[in-house]
Structures are given as C-alpha cells and as structure tokens.
Amino acid sequence: MQSTEIIDINKRPASDGVRPGKVWLVGAGPGDPDLLTMKAVRAIEQADLILYDALVSESIRATFPLKTPALYVGKLKDRHSIPQQRLNELLVEKARQGLNLCRLKGGDAFVFGRGGEEMLELKAANIEVELVPGITAAAGCTSYAGIPLTHRGVSQGCTLVTAHAEKALDINWRSLASLDHTLVFYMGLSKAAMISEELVAAGLRASTPAAFIENGCCPQQRTVRGELGELAELARREAVQSPALIVVGRVVDLADQLSWFSGRASQDVAGNQQIQKLSA
Ligand code: SAH
C-alpha cells in the first residue's frame, strides 16, 4: 500500500527560475476504481505529488504509483486536516517548486467539491490547471442502486442540493417541493430530520419514496429505502453510515425492477427484505 506517513515534499525548495509545474484537478468518481476516467489515471501516473481527499476510496488509493508521494488533505466532518485556505496556498507553493500535482477529489471537483475555489487560487497565481471531470455521487450512486435520476413519465428533472453549509443553509424548500422531480441531497445524513420536515412542510407528500445510498459504488454499498416522512427514523433504525446520499422522488421505486449491483443487501422500509439482485 502507498505510504502516506512521512513524505519529503519539500525536497525542492521554491526558487526563482524554476518553471512551475501544472495541476491536474481530478474528480476520482464515487469510489470504484473502474470508474476513474483514462485522463484521471494518466494524471495519477504522471504526477510528482498526489494530494487526495477523504472520499478517495482505499481501492483508488491502491492505484497510486509506489514511487509517488501522496498527501492526505481531506476534510472529515469536524476534523479538517488542513484548512482550505492553507491547502490552496500549498497547491500554489508546490507547483511553484516545479512539481506536477494531481489534486484528487471524490466524485467531481466542481460538484460540492470546492474545486472552483482551488482553481481560482491557482489561476490567480498563474499556475496551469487542467480539470478532469469525475462521476459525481448523484450519477454514480444512483446508477449502482438502480435508481434513474430521470425517467420518462416519472421524473422530468433532477436537482442536486447540499444539506451542509459552512455558514447559514439557504434552501428555498417551497421551490424544491414544487418541482415535483428527483431531489438528491449531498451531505444530508445528519440533516435527514430537517430535510424531511422542511420538504413535507413545503408541500411534498410524506409518502414520497426516498432512499439513502450508503457507500455508493463500493463493494459495501447499501440502499435503504422508505418514505420521505420517516427519513430520520430510517437513518437511525438502519444505522446508515457516511458517506450517504439521499434521493427523494418517485424514481426511487424503480429500484424494484432496476437493481443490479450486488453490493451489500438493499433494504426496503420493512427493514430486511432484499431487493431483487439480478447479478447476485
Ligand atoms: N464532489 C463530490 C461530493 C463531495 S460532498 C461528488 O461530486 O460526488 C460529500 C458528499 O457526497 C457525501 O456527504 C455524500 O452525501 C456524497 N457522496 C460522495 N461519495 C459518495 C458515495 N460513494 N456514496 C454515497 N454518498 C457519497
């Protein structure tokens, strides 16, 4: 396994006259290494230094070349390994030392990934950046759970929402409820009660199908299904773990027929009933 403990990333001092390296800002997708794009794989292979986030799975980390130092710069809830501003500076510093960097993020860098902020900082410092899109959790996890984001006659659209904000959460619940289409909440597990209360108060039926997708696209993926009105109770009863995505909308019921990925057991609201798994 890649060692990330003691890494001499300061081996090249910053100096004038050194041609700055470039930064690949890479989305690693939701966890399955087979979902890395070819561009992502090339960036991982060509980088002098890899800086990766908490959501970059162990099996993706196992693809890092042994010769390449890799630095964990992830943020877990309430446990920031490195503040975002310091991380932005670090990227500039290391690129200015002439290192080519692979900045690897879970999912897609531009979807709730602060990729835009890092790119702004790099551009302001005149560092060359190449953005490599990744499969965002909403796309990857729902596909692996057999839940289409849109489906003719069922849902004509889809909205991605973050349930977490550094300062105040500013969501127009009425607008969301009135869309009558698929809603996907990132970072929503600890906010499940609020999400369900707000959406029901804004007019969505408590019986609207809803699901947690836990550890999507990983061997231990689990889908826990139920109704919007009981999201918090469902999370508690089934001990849903992070990372988890919340999907709200009638498309959730299509998993009855479309479920295909044989991760961990998928469960419906009754608790233990297995959803049909075609590839099991
Ligand atoms: N940039 C990422 C999202 C980062 S926000 C992307 O595009 O996917 C982190 C949130 O994404 C988690 O709290 C969770 O809600 C969701 N998430 C990311 N990967 C996930 C996975 N493999 N399974 C379930 N949810 C995931």
Residues 113 and 150 in one domain: no
Ligand 1 site residues, Cβ closer than 6 angstroms: 30-31, 55, 105-108, 111-113, 136-137, 141, 186-187, 213, 215-217, 243-245
Q: What is the model's pLDDT at position 79?
A: 60
Residues 57 and 108 in one domain: yes
Residues 187 and 237 in one domain: yes
Residues 18 and 118 in one domain: yes
CB atoms within 10 A of CB 220: 11
Q: What is the pTM of this model?
A: 0.89
Q: Are 134 and 52 in contact (CB under 8 A)?
A: no
Residues 150 and 263 in one domain: yes
Residues identified as active-site: 53, 75
What does the alpha-carbon distance between residue 46 and residue 29 come to, in Å, rounded to a whole number? 19
| Domain edge (last residue) among 132, 151, 178 | 132
Residues 50 and 74 in one domain: yes
- Integer-rounded Cα Rg, in Å, for the chain is 20
Q: Residue 88 belongs to what domain range?
A: 8-132
Looking at the domain assignment, is residue 2 inside a domain?
no
Residues 67 and 181 in one domain: no
Residues 91 and 58 in one domain: yes
Kindly write down the DSSP assignment for every residue of 55-94, as one continuous string. TS-HHHHTTS-TTS-EEE--EETTEESS-HHHHHHHHHHH
CATH code at position 106 = 3.40.1010.10
pLDDT in tens, the chain (280 residues): 444 444 445 545 555 678 999 999 999 999 999 999 999 999 999 999 999 999 999 999 999 999 999 999 987 655 667 888 999 999 999 999 999 999 999 999 999 999 999 999 999 999 999 999 999 999 999 999 999 999 999 999 999 999 987 777 889 999 999 999 999 999 999 999 999 999 999 999 999 999 999 999 999 999 999 999 999 999 999 999 999 999 999 999 999 999 999 865 454 443 433 333 223 2
Residues 162 and 224 in one domain: yes
Residues 20 and 122 in one domain: yes
CA 136 to centroid of ligand 1, rounded, Å: 7
Residues 81 and 38 in one domain: yes
What does the alpha-carbon distance between residue 254 and residue 206 come to, in Å, rounded to a whole number? 18
Residues 148 and 250 in one domain: yes
The set of residues, in sequence order, having a beta carbon less than 8 Å from that of 148 and lying 6+ positions away, is 142, 155, 251, 254, 258
CA 165 to centroid of ligand 1, rounded, Å: 15
Three-point CA angle 190, 194, 196, nearest 5°: 105
CA 185 to centroid of ligand 1, rounded, Å: 9
